[in-house]
Amino acid sequence: MALPDKVRLVEVGPRDGLQNEASQISTAVKIELVARLGAAGVRHIEAASFVSPKWVPQMADSREVMAGIERRNGVIYAALTPNLKGFEGALASGVDEVAVFTAASEAFTQKNINCSIAESLSRFTPVIEAARANGIRVRGYVSTVLGCPYAGDIAPAQVAAVSRELLDMGCFEISLGDTIGTGTPLKAKRMLEAVAREVPIGQLAAHFHDTYGQALANLYAVLEEGLAVVDASVAGLGGCPYAKGASGNVASEDVIYLLQGLGIRTGIDLELLAQTGNWISAQLGRSNGSKVGQAMACS
């Protein structure tokens, strides 16, 4: 299949990126990060997470973050919601979209959301019903699609089965998470082929962490299969608190640079995005995880 001519970038830095940061990040910095991303042309931003503050303290101010964001026309501001309680918080904050999340691995699901895969899906039923009643779209995440920190290898058929369940329940899009970033291109391709037999490729997204430095290669492999939605974090921020050692998502700047080189449209201004990556890295006092961001800062 040919490469897509257009890709939608889902910027998950304010959520996936910041959720794992050890130091306290002010609400004002989170709000400014979302504003800068919007100004750079990002049209889909995961801005908050309505999970238990005991489990993920960094996201405890999600309500304030959502309240402080100056909404831009045409931008979708989304949040994670693991259950109905989370959905109610997200709804009260005026989110445009919510995301439920489970995994292809039982062991990971237990560690991450304290229940089995089947239980997680049954918790999502009322969330999806309430979302539908309020005209809010629901995205579904499947974690550990290319390997699990507890269970090791994951069968593509298992990823396909969980993805299919989320689709049948009413998720408009399924994001496939290589949570620990151990995947390689052929493995990514085989996994996607299995999932695409159950879920139309136009409803799939790639959410690749870059722990082993393979994320861009894996992305190229799935783009070749026709996948056209990519999750990424500016400056490569992040990691999952329940996947020890997992580093951030593939950096948004690196993804945009790759896509531009392939002649694929995204609507994003790489210069402004790279400035945002350098700005947030300075705010967090860490080095920029985007090679492109680092290179552009020197040029």
Residue 38 is encoded by which pair of tokens?
């919007």
Question: By CB under 5 A, is residue 198 in contact with Mg ion?
Answer: no
> Which CB, 41 or 140, lies closer to ligand HMG?
140
Residue 235 near residue 29 (C-beta atoms within 8 A): no
Write down the least CB distance from residue 82 to ligand HMG, Å. 4
Q: How far apart are CA 109 and CA 121, in angstroms?
A: 11
178 binds Mg ion (CB under 5 A): no
Residue 139 CB, nearest distance to ligand HMG (Å)? 10
Nearer to ligand HMG, 31 or 246 (CB): 246
Q: Which of ligand HMG, Mg ion, none does residue 112 bind (CB under 5 to 8 Å by kind)?
A: ligand HMG
Q: How far is the CB of 271 from ligand HMG (least distance, A)?
A: 27
Q: With respect to ligand HMG, which residue has the nearer C-beta, 241 or 267?
A: 241
Spatial distance between the Cα atoms of 70 and 49, rounded to a whole number of angstroms: 18
Residue 226 makes CB contacts below 8 A (sequence gap 6+) with: 1, 2, 3, 4, 201
Residues serving a catalytic function are 240
Among Mg ion, ligand HMG, none, the one that 86 touches (CB under a kind-dependent 5 to 8 A) is: ligand HMG
Nearest approach in angstroms of CB 15 to Mg ion is 9
Residues found near ligand HMG in the complex (CB under 6 A)? 16, 19, 49-52, 55-56, 80, 82-83, 85-86, 101, 112-114, 141, 143, 177, 179, 207, 209, 240-242
- In terms of CB distance, is 15 or 130 closer to Mg ion? 15
Residue 69 or 246 with smaller CB distance to ligand HMG: 246
**Which partner in Mg ion, ligand HMG, none is near 55 (CB below 5 to 8 A by kind)?**
ligand HMG
* Closest residue to ligand HMG using C-beta atoms: 177
Cβ at position 108, least distance to Mg ion in Å = 12
- Contact map string, positions 2 to 31, toward Mg ion, x by CB under 5 A: --------------x---------------
Contacted entry of ligand HMG, Mg ion, none for residue 125, CB cut-off 5 to 8 Å set by kind: none
Q: Which residues of the shown chain bind Mg ion in the complex (CB under 5 A)?
A: 16
